[in-house]
Amino acid sequence: MNEALLVGVILVAYVLGSIPFGFLAGRLKGVDIRRVGSGNIGATNVGRALGRKWSLIVFALDLLKGYAPTLAANVWVAELVTGGVGPSWVGQIVIVGVGAAAILGHMFPVFLGFRGGKGAATGLGLLLAISFPTAVAALGTWMIALGLWGYVSLGSILAAVSYPVWYLVMAHLEAKPMEQSWCIWGFTTALCLLVIWRHRSNLRRMVAGLEPKIARSAVGE
């Protein structure tokens, strides 16, 4: 494997992840999204400031910048395996490196002084690319939580909690040996913990009764 090429791919994933679509949407409408609501550049805060349409657009774009590079890494790894290049853990490290770069780009974008979003939408995108059934199950958890309690942030937290569990369930149903995916499982678990940590301010607002519900927001942050 060409290490220089791998480093280049990871840097590209980080730059793509750093594109602040929420901030750019606000600029198009003459609003600095960082000075509105929670100050976050994610789709939820965009929804508060600009409305549901812009929230959905930003959500889709944030999801795509996690999904596209991680899917490309999956395809690249599949070609390497077909060509007999390296053991399976090498491929896992490639996918983990690219996925981590994309999500870290969103959370700590170079274009905004390393102050970005909370990672739910971009994280969902890369998780869809890693294991589509597992991500759909976690998304179902998000929808159920949102329907029961009305908090986008709480749904994101519970979906993040559920993803590592769903991953193990899906691996069992697919009779997939965990030694073939332990690195990816560990990465997704760490990613979910990071997403939860990034939502700690939302948890504090929920406890204080200050967190807006769905009627005043939109989707994913």
> Could you tell me the sign of the dihedral formed by the alpha carbons of 122, 126, 129, 133, in that order?
negative
Q: Where are the domains of the chain?
A: 3-216
Q: 175-187: per-residue pLDDT in tens?
A: 777 777 888 899 8
181 φ/ψ angles, rounded to the nearest 5 degrees = -145, 20
pTM (2 d.p.): 0.82
Place of tokens 């995916």: 181
Please give, one letter per residue, the 3-state secondary structure of 130-151: HCHHHHHHHHHHHHHHHHHHCC
CA 157 to chain CA centroid, nearest Å: 12
Average pLDDT score over the chain: 87
Q: Is the pLDDT of residue 118 over 60?
A: yes
Please report the pLDDT score of residue 92 as a whole number: 84
